[in-house]
Chain A
Amino acid sequence: MARAAVQRRLTWQPATVAQVRTETESARSIVLDVPGWPGHVTGQHVDVRLTAEDGYAAQRSYSVASAPELDRLELTVQRVPDGEVSPYLADVAEAGDQLEIRGPVGGYFTWRPEAVEPVLLVAGGSGIVPLMSMIRGRAAANSRVPFRLVYSARTPDDVIYAQELSRRVRDDRGLDVAFAYTRGTPAGWPRPPGRLDAALLAEVGWPADFIPAVYICGPTGFVEAAANLLVAQGHEPQRIKTERFGPTGDREAAA
């Protein structure tokens, strides 16, 4: 769903927080009302700009979490403890607050419902966000393309969208999800906690001869490691698309 592409210069637009939702102890989803928002292609991001009373401004990128929609979008932000922007979005913002966004942008790390090849999604920590937009967009478009998500989180409590994911695994045909935990597992979990490794990816990922389109997202170090593992398993580098979120999550949230 996207409005006819009117050639307009990309610029900052006001957005109003419509609702905030706690996802985990350290992550919140923020629903934004943006009059004239044209919708997006799943996987795209926006730039968010916050301006303080005294004129000080900071901007960061955030992936769109929701399925494409007009006039409205949803972000999910993981708090980085010593961060400048994420603590505001994850803790302070509330309904009625205003900020500015620029987007949607990025035509590379995107998935379109017309695509027919199977899709392997690999998320580390908050890297789930743009992949969740793909999962939601797939359902909204009634796509039956096989989707498999491998989601690495610190502990079960750090899994964002946990309930929605288990509901979708039940209801969205052709979607399945495998979790990997780096610090703590549920009771009786078959594997000890640890970094995503070759054995685990071979077990829960897809073989390279399935020729999936691969999307990897998360902290820079996680994405690097996961991409190398998949290439070593025979996945073609050209079929692997990556979105690195920077160093932050590495120390705290994910992998």
Chain B
Amino acid sequence: MAIVTRGFTGRGRRDVNLPPGQYLTEDFPVLSAGPTPRPNLDKWQFTVTSETGQRFGWTWPELRALPSETVTVDLHCVTRWSKLGTHWEGVSVDTLLADVDTAADFAMVHAYGGYTTNLPLADLLDGQAWVAYRYDGEELDPEHGGPARLLVPHLYLWKSAKWVRGIELMHEDSPGFWESAGYHNYGDPWREQRYSGD
């Protein structure tokens, strides 16, 4: 058992409404596994690639012209902080996949800067995931993944790829960046699926 340091509280607080092992934070900690990508909006593209190689692409103005939704969701980071009631605006992944004819069961999400994360396609559908570009009423800051990030709030936050640039649909599952480095393949915070083997 670790030694308790008197007077230290840190950013986190225990709260009964949180998934196991999580602590509440009011801040929005910035996590980055590499240099912050700054894609040029004139060249920015979001691409969906089906398992047969069919490609669907949106430029930045095209993405912004799609119908958007505003959502209020809780975020749970595997580094143990949770932030409740965050406000986002973006395009539902259902909208982006509406015209895609697919029999795939899995998806690999790709981001500017090379980051990847995998998840079952079903977890991106039915109003569970968005490509978000506004946070708290403002354009999304690069440090939080702007111009656009994936938002899949029912899984640990590493699945919500910052600087998202595309979704690749796959028949076979394949691990992304953190999933191949030791984190759990699925990452459900309520079942505390942090590490591989949990």
Contacts and interface: CB of A to CB of B under 8 A. Distances in A.
Interface of A: 12, 14, 49-58, 82, 84-85, 88, 92-93, 97-100
Given A54-B23, A56-B80, A97 B12 contact: no
A99 B9 contact: no
Interface in B1-58: 2-14, 23, 27
B4 A53 contact: yes
Contacts of A57: 2, 10
Interface of B: 2-14, 23, 27, 80
Given A54-B23, A56-B23, A56-B80, A12 B11 contact: no
Given A98-B3, A100-B2, A54 B14 contact: yes
Contacts of A100: 2-3, 5
Say whether chain B's binding surface is mostly helix, strand, loop, or mixed.
loop
A25 to B, nearest CB: 20
A50 B14 contact: no
A55 B13 CA distance: 9
A11 to B, nearest CB: 12
Nearest to B14: A54
A50 B10 CA distance: 8
B36 to A, nearest CB: 11
B6 A98 contact: yes
A88 B11 CA distance: 11
B5 A52 contact: yes
B102 to A, nearest CB: 42
A49 B5 CA distance: 9
B14 A55 contact: yes
Nearest to B12: A56
Contact of B2 (A51, A84, A85, A88): A51
B23 A50 contact: no
B24 to A, nearest CB: 10
27 contacts: A12-B2, A14-B3, A51-B2, A51-B4, A51-B5, A51-B8, A52-B5, A53-B9, A54-B12, A54-B23, A55-B2, A55-B14, A56-B12, A56-B80, A58-B11, A82-B27, A84-B11, A85-B10, A88-B7, A93-B7, A97-B5, A97-B6, A98-B3, A98-B4, A99-B5, A99-B8, A100-B5
Given A51-B8, A88-B8, A92-B8, A56 B14 contact: yes
Given A51-B5, A58-B11, 20 more contacts: A14-B3, A50-B8, A51-B4, A51-B8, A52-B12, A54-B23, A55-B14, A56-B13, A56-B14, A56-B23, A57-B2, A58-B10, A84-B10, A85-B10, A92-B7, A93-B5, A97-B5, A97-B6, A98-B6, A100-B5
A52 B11 CA distance: 10
Contacts of A85: 10
A54 B13 contact: yes
